[in-house]
Amino acid sequence: MNGVPMMQAKIIPYLEFENTKDAITYYQEVFGATNAYRVSPTAAEAEQLGLEASVDLEAITMRGGFQIMGVDVQCADALMGQPTSSTLISLMLTVDEDDNAAVKALGELYQRLVDADVKVISPYINMALGGKMGQVVDQYGITWILREHPHTMTETAE
């Protein structure tokens, strides 16, 4: 690649909520999120953020996270104002169609989401290019694309 060294980087979804504590519980119950954690600010951090001294620090999430099917998601309370959802960004969760365990887990996740009454934008069905795909919007307005794809879609040219 033109003599430029290859760098390792990774994009991690970072979500902001009005109440991250409740959001983490939602993702655990509905999405089957694992390895959830949350950290409240210290009194000094709350002061630096300009929060009122009377605020309940345990109710605030300064940073948190969880995993969905092994994918890291970071999150925190939207301390700078009311969070809003956007249709500009969707989160795509993909698995290789040759990975039977992952395919089964993704199908089970989709069914769990449907059973939890998320808004289904497109059902999880077979695609003309192979594999399956479906799209839902969760209770926080976040669009999730679930994609089972043929292995050839993940190969990169050297």
For the chain, what are the domain ranges?
A: 14-77, 90-153
Res 26: pLDDT? 97
Longest alpha-carbon distance in the chain? 57
Question: Judging by DSSP bridges, how do beta strands 90-96 and 71-77 pair with one another?
Answer: unpaired
Among 3.10.180.10, 1.20.58.1880, 3.40.50.720, 3.50.50.60, name the CATH number for the domain at 90-153. 3.10.180.10
Kindly tell me if the per-residue pLDDT of 70 is higher than 80.
Answer: yes
**CATH of span 14-77:** 3.10.180.10
Fold match, 14-77 / 90-153? yes
pLDDT grade for 158, boundaries at 50, 70 and 90: very low
pLDDT in tens, 101-138: 999 999 999 999 999 989 999 999 999 888 899 999 99
The answer to whether 30 and 116 have CB atoms below 8 angstroms apart is: yes
Q: Which pTM was predicted?
A: 0.86
- What does pLDDT average to over the chain? 90
How many whole angstroms separate alpha carbon 110 and alpha carbon 132? 11
pLDDT digits (tens, 9 = 90+) for 77-109: 998 777 888 888 999 999 999 999 999 999 999
Under 8 Å between Cβ of 10 and 90: no
The rounded Cα 26 to chain-centroid distance in angstroms is 12
